[in-house]
A and B are shown apart, each in its own frame.
Chain A
Amino acid sequence: DSGVTQTPKHLITATGQRVTLRCSPRSGDLSVYWYQQSLDQGLQFLIQYYNGEERAKGNILERFSAQQFPDLHSELNLSSLELGDSALYFCASSVDPGTGYGYTFGSGTRLTVV
C-alpha cells in the first residue's frame, strides 16, 4: 500500500456520461497530481494542486476539471466522455516544495468508455 488511495479501481461508462475519480493523498503530502496513461500516448500530466490551489496545468481537456478539498483529497471530473478517454488515470502525491522528493502514486482508476 503506497498510502495514496484512488477510488474506484474500475469504471465502465457510456459515451456522453460524466464520472468522478477520487484520490486521497499520502498523509502529510500537500500536492496532488493527476496523470492519464493510455497505450498510444504514454503518461500525460493533467493537473497539479497544492494545498487546495491549482498549481500547474498540463494536457487537460476542457471537458475535464479537478479540485482539491480542505481535507486535501482531490477529485477529477470527466464529462461528455468519448471512447478516446478510456485510459488509466493515476493520482500521485508529493511533499512540496522540493526537488529531492518524488511522487507516490496510487494504483489508478481504469476507465472504460463504451
Chain B
Amino acid sequence: GNSVTQMEGPVTLSEEAFLTINCTYTATGYPSLFWYVQYPGEGLQLLLKATKADDKGSNKGFEATYRKETTSFHLEKGSVQVSDSAVYFCALRSAGFQKLVFGTGTRLLVSP
C-alpha cells in the first residue's frame, strides 16, 4: 500500500539556518505529493504541492521537488525564521478517490 516516511524530529535550528526535512514515499502509479504545516493550536494548512515528476512546489520560501527516481519529496528552506516553528507533514495522494496518506510529522523548532 501507499506510505510516507519522514525524518523524525524535532529538528532544532537557529534563525537563518538552512532547513531540510526528508520525505520518501511508496506508492503505485503516479501520486501527487504535498507538504502541510501545522502551527501550534491550529489545523493543518497546505504549504505546497507537486503533481508530477520533476515538478517543484514552492511557497513562503519553502521548496520541494518531486523526484520519482528516488521516490522523495524533501522540504527545503534557505533561511528559517522563528515563525517557521511548527510541525510539517509530508503526504501523498493516488488516483481517484484515494485518501491522502500522511507521514508522522516532523517538528521544527527555530531559536533566535
Partner of A102, one of B95, B96, B100, B104: B100
User: Nearest chain-B residue to A31 (Cβ)?
Assistant: B97
B97 and A99 within 8 A (CB):
no
User: Nearest chain-A residue to B101 (Cβ)?
Assistant: A45
| B45 interface residue per 8 A CB criterion | yes
Contacts A42-B105, A99-B94, A108-B43; A48 near B49 (Cβ below 8 A): no
A107 and B43 within 8 A (CB):
yes
User: Which residues of B have CB within 8 Å of A55?
Assistant: 97
User: Which residues of B have CB within 8 Å of A92?
Assistant: 44
Contacts A43-B89, A107-B43, A108-B43; A56 near B99 (Cβ below 8 A): yes
| A25 interface residue per 8 A CB criterion | no
A99 to B101, alpha carbons, bound, how many Å?
12
Q: B58-75 interface mask toward A, CB cutoff 8 Å, 1 = contact, 0 = none?
A: 000000000000000000
A105 and B43 within 8 A (CB):
yes
User: Which residues of A have CB within 8 Å of B46?
Assistant: 102-104
Q: B81-112 interface mask toward A, CB cutoff 8 Å, 1 = contact, 0 = none?
A: 00000000101011111111010110000000
A99 and B51 within 8 A (CB):
yes
What are 19 sample pairs from A and B whose C-beta atoms fall under 8 A apart? Answer: A2-B45, A4-B43, A31-B97, A43-B89, A50-B97, A90-B43, A92-B44, A96-B97, A97-B95, A99-B32, A99-B94, A101-B93, A102-B34, A102-B36, A102-B49, A102-B91, A106-B43, A107-B43, A108-B43
